[in-house]
């Protein structure tokens, strides 16, 4: 039974989204936020922003004295259609919660032409503690191969896909910011935040001829001692090294851009960090994106990904044979956005989660989070409208003052296996429909 | 009135530097080409340098002469005046025109687009 809760913990880890807005990069490059970000605000990258990231965050305006420090604050409000059965976190109510969701400080910038990166320290009101958040530190070496521009790079990071330059992998797909106080579907995938901040990864990558991107590396768990120093609660441990790989084709045509790719992660987990059999997760994803940029007055994007996760839960099965040894979780994400004048944005997203039934992982009669049908199948949509008044070339306070105001609505047509009475206690999928508003500052 | 005369004289001198082929360019389309191809890295505001230097007043300007912009050694060695022909050659194939330069742009193949964007840039005074 202990392993069941470990698995739940792992699954729920996948619900958090990294939120990044790093104006010190704008100060370093002399660019406005809109050059790198769709809608003038992170994290959705333009082709220019993708190249800046693949270039190791090292590009600069050539001037000295830039201070590589940024800060970020997110204040949010969450309303669900029906009150939750229990408080979603200590000090919060069963509904209508205002939350100082994140206060972050970044060290973000270049060291020299070959070294750059960011690291984030975050305090959040739901967690009520300060922890080491995401980091991505890079070494890059630009060169010419067969007369074509080529970048070789190495990334040290603590969350698989956080180093990815595209807007489609779990670390960076829409929604870029969401509630941490609303119910979310039970099933997550290992590559989608299951290892976030618990691991150290080293990946080597290359961008050849500005088109071909390939990356290969591996992740190992931090020691308990190191996690304690970073104020992170130790979760399960990777047995050995988890290989991560990524290939993509990218074409930036200035007026538009597209990418297609494949990626994957294979992880053997020791539940509870105890020696013995492992739970094996193999994730393989396919993704694609298109951006119409035009004159930057009307910008439209389409992003999509499909990830298949295969599970062989030998460790969990050994401790609780009620858990199915073999299983799957699949997730489809599609989103499209339109931004006007780099200021006003509308985004619509669709998600569909499917997987095998399991009476232990998706248990009946657990209020709000259980499944009467023992199924993880969930489906829904997210709509967002946002206003980003700053972050352009001639904006007030640029490049220091940045703000985004957003209203987001997430609707569920199926939740943990059913539309009606999904938890066996009378809760419907639509009862979890969530209205989420946020105001996001960065400087 | 004196200020107006100076502006008009400056404008007429600048326009006189533009060969007929570029002066006949479609500045409205040139602005569109600028926004699509150049605006990520170049501002049209005087004194506003982004990844690349401001386009304001570039036609007729001597290369690598904006004091607070960090040019590449290759561009500093270029030592030319940015005539419309020189700009045309440069934006057609930047890496060929200035080997070792910092501009990563692959080049604007379409001749009409080059003509139009140069005509537009020439209006920035």
pLDDT tens profile A257-292:
999 999 999 999 999 999 999 999 999 999 999 999
Chain A residues whose C-beta is within 8 A of a chain B C-beta are 29-32, 35, 46, 48, 51, 59, 61-63, 149, 210, 254-255, 293-297, 393-394
A1 has pLDDT over 70:
no
Average pLDDT, whole number, for chain A? 94
Mean pLDDT, residues B47-56 taken together:
92
pLDDT of residue B7: 47
pLDDT of residue A18: 66
What are the C-alpha distances in Å from A294 to residues A291, A324, B106? 9, 51, 18
- For the residues A160-172, what does the mean pLDDT come to? 97
Closest Cα to residue A375, out of A388, A396, A359, A391? A359
Percent of chain B with pLDDT over 90: 70
Beta bridge partners of A142: A151
Nearest by CB: A296 against B35, B68, B70: B35
Which pLDDT belongs to residue A11?
A: 41
- Which letter, b or e, does each residue of A283-294 get, where b requires 16 or more Cβ atoms within 10 Å of its Cβ? bbbebbbebebe
pLDDT (0 to 100) of residue A13: 41
Determine the distance from the C-alpha atom of residue A233 to the mean position of all C-alpha atoms in its chain, rounded to a whole number. Answer: 19
Check whether B114 has a pLDDT greater than 80.
Answer: yes
Q: Do B40 and A46 touch (CB under 8 A)?
A: yes
Please indicate whether residue A65 or residue A365 has the higher confidence score (pLDDT). A365
Task: Say whether pLDDT at B21 is over 90.
Answer: no
Residue from A186, A312, A31 nearest B42 by CA: A31
Are A29 and B41 within 8 A, CB to CB? Answer: no
* Contact: A63, B104; criterion CB under 8 Å: no
Task: Indicate which CATH number applies to the domain containing A243.
Answer: 2.40.160.10
Q: Which residue on chain B is closest to A147 by alpha carbon? A: B95
pTM of the model: 0.91
* Contact assignment for A35 to B49 by CB distance below 8 Å: no
* A-B contacts (CB, under 8 Å): 49
Q: Which of A70-74, A339-343, A431-435, B3-7 has the lowest mean pLDDT?
A: B3-7
- CATH classification of B2-121 is 3.40.50.1390, yes or no? no
Picking from A51, A62, A299 by the largest number of B CB atoms within 10 A of its own CB, the best residue to mutate is A62
- Closest by Cβ to B40, choosing from A48, A294, A394: A48
The total domain count for chain A is 1
Average pLDDT over residues A89-105: 97
Q: What is the pLDDT of residue A7?
A: 45
Digit-coded pLDDT (tens) for A350-407: 999 999 999 999 999 999 999 999 999 999 999 999 999 999 988 998 888 999 999 9
Domain housing A342: 2-442
Judge: A31–B50 Cβ closer than 8 Å, yes or no.
yes
- Distance, in Å, from the CA atom of A274 to the CA atom of B1, rounded to the nearest integer, reads 86
Given a cut of 70, whether residue A15 has pLDDT beyond it is no
Q: Considering only alpha carbons, which residue of chain B is nearest residue A253? A: B37
Does the structure show a pLDDT above 70 at B12?
A: no
Under the banding of pLDDT at 50, 70 and 90, the label for residue B8 is very low
Find chain B residues with C-beta within 8 A of A31's C-beta: 40-41, 50-51
Dihedral (C-alpha) A272, A275, A279, A284: value to the nearest 10 degrees?
Answer: 100
B83-94 pLDDT, tens digit per residue, is 999 999 999 999
Angle A120-A126-A131 (CA atoms, 0-180°, nearest 5)? 30
Q: What is the mean pLDDT of residues B27-42?
A: 96
Instruction: Look at residue A16 in the predicted model and tell me its pLDDT.
Output: 52
Residue A35 to residue B43, Cβ atoms within 8 A: no
């Amino acid at each position: 039974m202990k392993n069941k809760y470990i698995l739940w913990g792992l699954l729920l880890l996948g619900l958090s989204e990294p939120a990044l807005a790093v104006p010190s990069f704008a100060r370093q490059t002399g660019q406005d936020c809109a050059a790198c970000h769709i809608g003038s605000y992170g994290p959705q990258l333009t082709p220019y922003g993708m190249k800046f990231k693949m270039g190791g965050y090292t590009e600069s305006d050539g001037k000295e004295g830039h201070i590589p420090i940024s800060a970020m604050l997110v204040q949010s409000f969450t309303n669900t259609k029906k009150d939750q059965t229990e408080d979603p976190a200590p000090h919060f109510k069963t509904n209508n919660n205002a939350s100082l969701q994140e206060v972050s400080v970044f060290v973000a910038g270049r060291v020299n032409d070959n070294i750059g990166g960011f690291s984030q320290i975050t305090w959040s009101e739901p967690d009520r503690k300060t922890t080491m958040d995401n980091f991505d530190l890079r070494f890059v070496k630009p060169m010419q191969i067969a007369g074509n521009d080529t970048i070789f790079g190495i990334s040290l990071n603590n969350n698989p896909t956080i180093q990815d330059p595209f807007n489609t992998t779990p670390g960076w797909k829409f929604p870029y910011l969401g509630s941490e106080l609303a119910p979310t579907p039970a099933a997550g995938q290992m590559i989608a935040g299951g290892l976030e901040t618990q691991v150290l990864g080293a990946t080597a990558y290359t961008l050849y001829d500005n088109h071909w991107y390939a990356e290969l590396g591996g992740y190992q768990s931090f020691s308990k001692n190191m996690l304690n120093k970073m104020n992170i609660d130790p979760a399960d441990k990777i047995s050995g090294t988890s290989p991560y790989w990524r290939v993509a084709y990218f074409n930036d045509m200035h007026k538009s851009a597209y990418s297609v790719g494949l990626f994957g992660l294979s992880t053997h987990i020791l539940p509870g960090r105890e020696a013995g059999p492992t739970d094996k997760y193999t994730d393989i994803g396919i993704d694609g994106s298109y951006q119409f940029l035009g004159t930057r007055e009307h910008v439209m994007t389409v992003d999509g990904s499909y990830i298949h996760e295969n599970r062989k839960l030998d460790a969990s099965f050994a401790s609780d044979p009620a858990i199915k040894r073999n299983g799957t979780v699949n997730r489809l994400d599609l989103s499209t956005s339109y931004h006007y004048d780099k200021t006003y944005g509308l985004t619509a997203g669709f998600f569909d989660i499917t997987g095998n039934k399991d009476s232990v992982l998706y248990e009946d009669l657990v209020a709000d989070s259980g499944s009467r049908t023992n199924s993880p199948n969930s489906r829904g949509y997210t709509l967002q409208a946002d206003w980003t008044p700053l972050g352009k070339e001639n904006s007030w306070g640029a490049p220091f003052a940045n703000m985004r105001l957003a209203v987001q609505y997430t609707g569920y047509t199926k939740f943990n296996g059913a539309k009606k009475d999904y938890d066996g206690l009378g809760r419907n999928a639509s009862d979890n429909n969530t209205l989420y508003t946020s105001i996001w500052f960065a400087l | 009135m004196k200020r107006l005369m100076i502006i008009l004289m400056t404008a007429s001198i600048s326009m006189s530097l533009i060969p007929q082929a570029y002066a006949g360019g479609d500045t409205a389309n040139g602005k569109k080409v600028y926004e699509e191809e150049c605006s990520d890295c170049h501002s049209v505001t005087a004194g506003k340098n982004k990844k690349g230097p401001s386009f304001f007043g570039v036609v007729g300007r001597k290369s690598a002469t904006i004091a607070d912009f960090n040019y590449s050694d290759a561009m500093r060695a270029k030592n030319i005046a940015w005539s419309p022909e020189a700009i045309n050659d440069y934006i057609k194939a930047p890496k060929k025109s200035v080997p070792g330069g910092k501009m990563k742009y692959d080049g604007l193949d379409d001749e009409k687009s080059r003509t139009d964007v140069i005509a537009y840039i020439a209006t920035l005074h």
